[in-house]
Structure 1
Amino acid sequence: MKFGPTPLAEAEGAILAHTIRLPEGTSPRVLKKGTVLDAAALAALRATGHGEIIAARLEPGDIPEDEAAQRLGEALLGPLLARSRAATGRVNILADAAGLFVVDEALVNRLNRLDESLTLATLPNHTPVSAREMLATVKVIPFSAPAAALQLAEVVARGGRALAVHPFRPLKVGLVLSELPGLKDSILEGTVAATEARITALSGSLLPPIRCRHEEGAIAEALGRLKRMGAELLLVAGASAVVDRRDAGPAAIVRAGGHIEHFGMPVDPGNLICLGALGNIPALVLPGCARSPKLNGFDWVLQRLFAGLPVNGNNIAGMGVGGLLKEIETRPLPREQAAAQASSGVAPRRPRQVAALVLAAGRSRRMAPLNKLMVTDKAGVPMVVRVVNNVLESRARPVIAVTGYEAQRVEEALAGRPVLIAHTEDYAEGLSGSLKAGLAALPPEVEGVLVCLGDMPLVTGAMLDRLMAAFDPEEGRSIVMPTFRGKQGNPMLWAREFIPEMLEITGDVGARHLVGKYAEKVVEVEMSDDAVLRDFDTTDALKMAPDFRQPG
């Protein structure tokens, strides 16, 4: 590939290296990075005084970036894996089912060392993922990849299994709760609740728990009963922490006809876990921290068991790197203090301050005479209140609701919630009037703004937090757009730099046209369901809305 200053006379078919904005009245107005220059583009450049541009010109043996990314993405596919379309030299690999994501680290490293033009970035090994979650991204760094390097990468990728999703199995789980005098019922109830939440999140089900004395014989008898009830995984939550293989819990597994595979693990919290089995049924004595819903070593073991992966002493011994999951209070200098006192003086980067606008000013013409925002769900909660509640569950602050049509009614519905109100008299103009009123109300310290639609009640706070996690203007991620199976959705997150142009919008349109203008600053975040595509602005659409009452 040739790269550098290129005279316009030699530039037809070349790839523009940097975005060029041409004067007002020129068509096209913007030539984006990556544009393949044709006669019209060259004519516009000549007319505006350009004699040369910085461009890349492909040579024989160069594979264009999108084709290269698509080919390597295809080579990486396997069961339960899908890919996005290629764009700007990037292809994302997605999960087709919930499960445990497993990476062949050696194979990924080998691929990344073949040629600097080809890169593969993944989630950490053994990450639990949901369906449609992004697992990895292939990125071709320049505008092309050498054909020989790409062919070798395809052979390497197809010769192994770099990426895999092991689906979670719907296991039946038995839980034994041992008791000692003085142990509060609330502790046992909390243990059951935390355990059941973990199991259902992994697609399993909890059999009725059995309570018994904290004695070897009683625990062994309870394990036998659960096995006869069809348990495919057995758990013992002891009244007292297990401190030895011969303690009551492990000894009960042996007494019930099983064996102990491994005691302890290099993960904190979670050190005092005991792994055994009754025949082919895994049996675990849980660490005390398993009573808490917070992440601990038990979660790592449980995820692998539900994914059908082997768990033995060797696997557990390999969990030490990354196994420090919390601060140890007796540490001479906790990491938080160490970072603050580091000689460089560089503090950890704070989260970007992002506000949220909820556009709730429209006249609901398509659902007239109803105001769609006031249609209630089966619990009697208006749609706009559902939307605002979801936004408040995110870390976006402040939350600003823009009112217009039936403003008093909407504001009364939102009363008591920590939201600011921005009113627009221009709601008849459509979306642009609402947008301008909300943007004008933003405090000056806000770095970005989520523009949320009042008729999208299925978008959760967790989804909004995912969008904010991807937002980083300094890294070029200034516009964050949710997608589902490649389709672009809402809400979108915009950096402050775009607000002046957003304030110039007129008519019943939003700011989405700026995505094309600033394509190099857009990052897409794939979502696990289609909530980001679903607005309910007609009576027919409302019939498909879960939990909402249908208009009479």
Structure 2
Amino acid sequence: MKQIKTVDAVGQVLCHDITQILPGQFKGRKFKKGHVVKEEDIPVLLSLGKDNLYVWEAVEGMIHENDGAIFLKDIAAGENLEFSEIKEGKIDFIAGIDGLLKIDVDTLLKLNSIDDIMMATLHNNFEVKKGTKVAGTRVIPLLIGEEKLEEAKKVVGENKIVSVLPFKPKKVGIVTTGNEIYHKRIVDKFGPVIEGKVGKYNCEIIGQIICPDDKEVIKEAIQKFINKGAELICCTGGMSVDPDDVTPTAIKECGAELVTYGSPILPGAMFLLAYYNEVPIMGIPGCAMYNKTTVFDVILPRLLVNERLNKADIAAYGHGGLCMQCDTCTYPACNFAKI
């Protein structure tokens, strides 16, 4: 790369994109890297404030910004992604499917700790639609030393920083507890809520069993769904600490491995998660019946990409786990439960 006066640049090859800004009208690329400067380009370039240009002159050991961006994309990109055209040395990562965005946050931090390199992403565990821009990367200078890119490759290793995982619809059993519902004193309002939320992911409801506040009956209902091939069981009702709320005890005693009873998410503190072998069992607190977005909406997508969560996964939601309960809910495009 060498610098020359713009008026002397006819026939030279630009080694970087040149941006044009028209306030309130346009900002974008006017000349593309690799463009051969023509006589008629000179007045335009001068009007853009380019009295001097950088034109291509190969330097051993130095990589152009566009090639650097491609290198970073290749080492960081996982599955189900598409990519933008490179503009001004930057390349965007775009979701190729509807799914759950997964970001290797630790590796991303290490990558961004290398001088002259950047990558920005949406939050980990963000639900995305096909076509959503999920990340962008570039090198900062016009040319970057090969050793920086080799350092980046070493830092990333076999990890893939950005991926989109597809949702895998499951067969869902609903166990609803409560004497007031079992004896038909009130109409169950929880079942339709669960059906609506899992239906968004094309899950199949294979049944709903309504139980009294009887631990043994609830255990039997859970086992019936296990035997019927349920891949996810949602238990509603009886999730508080009242003495007659026995749903948590029934789940714990049905043979499932308890992950947590309680979560640092509001609404949703009384949430329970357990696994019966590979089948997740969720104890869903009453807030999910009347709040638009709760712990259920946060955890469900991760279970539908077959992620097996542990206690630390749930505990991590404390930072950001407070819903602001806005008049107009924009979840997941908000700060709620982003880790």
Report how far residue 218 of structure 1 moved: 2.1
Determine the C-alpha separation between the residues in 2 that align with 1:160 and 1:45: 48
Map 1:311-326 → 2, pairs under 5 A: 311-326=309-324
Determine the C-alpha separation between the residues in 1 that align with 2:325 and 2:282: 25
1:171 maps to which residue?
A: 170
2:292 alignment partner AA: K
Gaps of 5+ in 1: 22-29, 329-335, 337-461, 467-552
Determine the C-alpha separation between the residues in 1 that align with 2:248 and 2:50: 76
The TM-score with structure 2 as length reference comes to: 0.79
2:25 maps to which residue?
A: none
Larger Cα Rg: Structure 1 or Structure 2? 1
2:100 maps to which residue?
A: 100
2:307 maps to which residue?
A: 309
Map 1:211-250 → 2, pairs under 5 A: 211-238=210-237, 240-243=238-241, 247-250=245-248
1:396 maps to which residue?
A: none
Report how far residue 266 of structure 1 moved: 0.6
Determine the C-alpha separation between the residues in 2 that align with 1:83 and 1:100: 17
- Aligned to 1:32, which of 30, 33, 36? 30
Determine the C-alpha separation between the residues in 2 that align with 1:47 and 1:112: 33
Determine the C-alpha separation between the residues in 1 that align with 2:48 and 2:287: 67
Aligned in 2, Cα 1:19/1:231: closer, same or farther, shift over 3 Å? closer
Report how far residue 293 of structure 1 moved: 6.0
1:73 aligns with 2:96: no
Q: Which sits farther off after the overlay, 56-65 or 297-306? A: 56-65
In the alignment, is the contact (CA less than 8 A) between 2:81 and 2:163 conserved in 1?
yes
Highest RCO, 1 vs 2 (Cα 8 Å, sep ≥ 6): 2
Determine the C-alpha separation between the residues in 1 that align with 2:45 and 2:82: 45
Q: Provide the secondary structure at the position in 1 that maps to 2:207.
A: coil
Aligned in 2, Cα 1:17/1:232: closer, same or farther, shift over 3 Å? closer
Report how far residue 321 of structure 1 moved: 1.3
Count of matched residue pairs: 319
In the alignment, is the contact (CA less than 8 A) between 1:58 and 1:144 conserved in 2?
no
2:127 maps to which residue?
A: 128
Report how far residue 235 of structure 1 moved: 1.4
Report how far residue 184 of structure 1 moved: 6.5
Aligned in 2, Cα 1:159/1:256: closer, same or farther, shift over 3 Å? closer
The TM-score with structure 1 as length reference comes to: 0.51
- CA deviations 1:204-239 (Å, max 9, x no partner) are 22222111212212212211222222111111101x
Determine the C-alpha separation between the residues in 2 that align with 1:82 and 1:172: 31
Determine the C-alpha separation between the residues in 2 that align with 1:49 and 1:257: 75
Aligned in 2, Cα 1:290/1:184: closer, same or farther, shift over 3 Å? farther
Q: Which sits farther off after the overlay, 177-186 or 120-129? A: 177-186
Moved segments of 4+, more than 6 Å: 46-52
Determine the C-alpha separation between the residues in 2 that align with 1:218 and 1:139: 59
Percentage of pairs with the same residue: 26
Map 1:260-271 → 2, pairs under 5 A: 260-271=258-269
- CA deviations 1:77-112 (Å, max 9, x no partner) are 333333233233222223333332221112111212
2:201 alignment partner AA: L
Determine the C-alpha separation between the residues in 2 that align with 1:49 and 1:136: 33
Q: Which sits farther off after the overlay, 250-259 or 207-216? A: 250-259
In the alignment, is the contact (CA less than 8 A) between 1:97 and 1:130 conserved in 2?
yes
Gaps of 5+ in 2: 23-27, 334-339
In the alignment, is the contact (CA less than 8 A) between 2:99 and 2:166 conserved in 1?
yes
1:324 alignment partner AA: L
- CA deviations 1:472-522 (Å, max 9, x no partner) are xxxxxxxxxxxxxxxxxxxxxxxxxxxxxxxxxxxxxxxxxxxxxxxxxxx
Determine the C-alpha separation between the residues in 2 that align with 1:133 and 1:124: 13
Determine the C-alpha separation between the residues in 1 that align with 2:236 and 2:160: 37
Report how far residue 246 of structure 1 moved: 9.4
Map 1:45-194 → 2, pairs under 5 A: 45=43, 53-57=51-55, 60=59, 61-116=61-116, 118-181=117-180, 185-186=186-187, 188-189=188-189, 191-194=190-193
Determine the C-alpha separation between the residues in 1 that align with 2:277 and 2:21: 69
Report how far residue 166 of structure 1 moved: 2.9
In the alignment, is the contact (CA less than 8 A) between 1:173 and 1:205 conserved in 2?
yes
Report how far residue 10 of structure 1 moved: 5.9
Aligned in 2, Cα 1:164/1:52: closer, same or farther, shift over 3 Å? closer
1:283 maps to which residue?
A: 281
Report how far residue 68 of structure 1 moved: 2.1
RMSD: 3.7
2:272 alignment partner AA: C
